[in-house]
Amino acid sequence: MHRFKDLKVWQKGRFLVKDIYLITKNFPAEELYGMTSQIRRSAVSIPANIAEGCGRNTNPDLNRFLDISNGSAFELETLMILSSDLDFITDEEFLKIDSQIQEIQKMIYSFKQTLTNKK
Whether the model clears a pTM of 0.85, i.e. scores above it, the answer is yes
Q: What would the pLDDT profile of 99-113 be if each residue is shown by its tens digit? A: 999 999 999 999 999
Domain that holds residue 55: 4-117
Per the CB < 8 A criterion, the answer to whether 112 and 66 are in contact is yes
Q: What is the CATH number of the domain that holds 62?
A: 1.20.1440.60
Q: What per-residue confidence (pLDDT) applies to 119?
A: 55
Residues 44-79 have pLDDT tens digits of 999 999 999 999 989 999 999 999 999 999 999 999
The structural domain count of the chain equals 1
